[in-house]
Structure 1
Amino acid sequence: MVSKRSEDRVFVFPPATALDSCEGAFTIGAQNAYMAENGAYTGEIGLEQLEEFGIQTILIGHSERRDILGEDQALVAEKFSYFKAQDFEIVYCIGEALEVREKGEEAVMAHLLSQFEGIDLSYEKLIIAYEPIWAIGTGRSATTEEISSTHASLKEHFDRPLLYGGSVKPENIKEITAINGVDGVLVGSASLDVERFSEMIFA
């Protein structure tokens, strides 16, 4: 995640196997964790493991966990509540599929707002990331008009930092971060290339 001002922080969410290998002036966060300190939750990471690495930031609600791994809103909200209680900084993701986008702005907003069910929008350590699913990993970003309109509508419902995530890359990051209402970006596949990621940080 990259913020739009040079004095803002850069967040990195590495795979769980690399949580102890990150160096540099970054805020390191977990891509996922289970809602327990520890226990018999095969394949999961608990609070105890995150604390071992000094991690106090987590990504919740990403579209891949919702769509591929079947995390419904009830589970996402439960994760949010648990890590809020642990005083974590939470980057909370919302987004819509192409079929929703094609129904128009009203349908998009209804869908996005439904993803705030069970989420405390007044939580001071909450950062929201809007990621149109149809623009993730496809090389196609939403137009500046689509981003501006959606962010403006979302900002009517909360006063928290709002990031844009959807095929953000060095070639379009300046244009996206210049949009009113975009407080930073959530970078996906473009961050896997160190040189391109560095270029975005200093854009």
Structure 2
Amino acid sequence: MNKTPSEAQFFANTLMNALAGFNSFDIYVAPVFVALDRVREVVSSSNIKLAAQNMYFEDIGAFTGEVSPKMLKELGVEAVIIGHSERRKIFGETDELINKKVKKALKEGLTPIFCIGETLEEREKGLTFCVLEKQVREGLYGISADEVTRVVIAYEPVWAIGTGVVATPQQAQEAHEFVRKLLGQIYGEEVAQSVTILYGGSVTPENFFGLFVKKDIDGALVGGASLKESFVELAKIMSKVIC
């Protein structure tokens, strides 16, 4: 919940100019709902794609305060973040609800950025892999192998979000490797290798290189660093590693 529509529009213009020419990987921005239209006006002719921060799984109805995928698509949205830890913790979203959202996003042609991750208490109790397996299995329940290749998974350890504490590259890689192996068990190795898995949790230009060079980390779901021009520095790092 950052940046008014005018602030988001101004910042999108800054990003568009700074990120022109970065075409070897996908760049998405996910402004608040009320800024989507203005940001689209800026980035529609650029290499930056538009994402939303959330959606509901119905098209229309008495769901006050919610936004449907059809509404998002009309605004030019191509992807949507689903199951972010703040949605789970603050707003009580369950794996069952998140699963409905992922299925609906896929049905409507949106790319779900499906978030998973453990709390500090769960990690300290040695439950990280148990939590991740439950979230993956229940969040992707009923989704076919063809469909799951269109899902982007974002591993975001809750204890590292907005805290300034980042998972070490080894911790992040272990979680990503576990998730990819789990996908292999469910869908087969070839499918698992084609799924994009991002790391999210206090990503900065100072720590991103060490994370991104790990085998199973395909990119980042950026929080605080996406609100300032350090987002551009992350793109520069990614571009150098890919090249």
Q: Which residue among 186, 193, 199 is the counterpart of 2:221?
A: 186
Aligned residue runs from structure 1 range 59-138, under 5 A? 59-104=81-126, 107-116=127-136, 117-119=138-140, 120=143, 122=145, 123=147, 124-138=149-163
2:113 aligned counterpart, secondary structure: strand
Higher deviation after alignment, 118-127 or 144-153:
118-127
Higher deviation after alignment, 113-122 or 145-154:
113-122
For residues 70 and 107 of structure 2, what CA distance do their matches in structure 1 show?
15
RCO greater where, 1 or 2, for CA within 8 Å and sep 6 or more? 1
Matched AA of 2:130: A
Shift of 1:45: 1.1
Give the helix-richer structure, 1 or 2: 2
For residues 50 and 177 of structure 1, what CA distance do their matches in structure 2 show?
30
1:91 aligned counterpart, secondary structure: strand
Aligned to 1:16: 33
Identity of aligned residues (%): 39
Higher deviation after alignment, 166-175 or 121-130:
121-130
Q: Which residue among 52, 66, 71 is the counterpart of 1:49?
A: 71
Residues 6 and 141 of structure 1, relative CA distance in 2, 3 Å threshold: farther
Higher deviation after alignment, 83-92 or 126-135:
83-92
Query: Does the aligned pair in 1 maintain the 2:70–2:108 contact within 8 Å?
Result: no
For residues 20 and 132 of structure 1, what CA distance do their matches in structure 2 show?
31
Q: Which runs of 5+ in 1 are unaligned?
A: none
TM-score normalised by L of structure 2 = 0.77
The alignment's C-alpha RMSD in Å is: 1.5
For residues 74 and 64 of structure 1, what CA distance do their matches in structure 2 show?
16
2:91 aligned counterpart, secondary structure: coil
Which entry has the higher C-alpha Rg, 1 or 2? 2
Residues 121 and 147 of structure 1, relative CA distance in 2, 3 Å threshold: farther
Q: Which runs of 5+ in 2 are unaligned?
A: 1-21, 184-191, 238-243
Matched AA of 2:27: V
Higher deviation after alignment, 56-65 or 44-53:
44-53
